[in-house]
Amino acid sequence: MISHADLVSRRAAVDATLTDLALYAKALCPAAAVDVSPLSYEDEDGHVDIIPPIDWSEADVDRFDLALAARAAEIFDRTGLYIVCAVLDPAER
């Protein structure tokens, strides 16, 4: 059985990780809209959805997406937390 303290510790780790990824996205693109959700589905621990500026080229969006995916992978390797980062189409905003 998982103790209450373990659950609280894990939730704190997820919250810190979500904050880290959101701040990283904003550092890469201050004009991006960032939405963070601690809701977990199956093996996911949370979500960060990012909408880049509409005037970004496809190449810029791809580089942004790859940078976020690399950061999320580093976090997973270090902590085991699986945070899904999605760069969404700005046209659907």
Where are the extended beta strands (E) located within the chain?
33-37, 46-51, 83-87
Q: What is the pTM of this model?
A: 0.87
Nearest residue to 24 via CA among 70, 92, 59: 70
Burial 5-26, CB ≥16 within 10 A → b, else e: eeeeeeeeebeebbeebbebbe
pLDDT in tens, 18-72: 999 999 999 999 999 999 998 888 889 999 999 999 999 999 999 999 999 999 9
Nearest residue to 26 via CA among 66, 57, 64, 60: 64
Residue 1 has pLDDT above 80, yes or no: no
Positive or negative CA dihedral for 11, 33, 88, 21? negative
User: What token pair was written down for 14?
Assistant: 């997820």
- Domain covering 4-92 in this structure, CATH number: 3.30.300
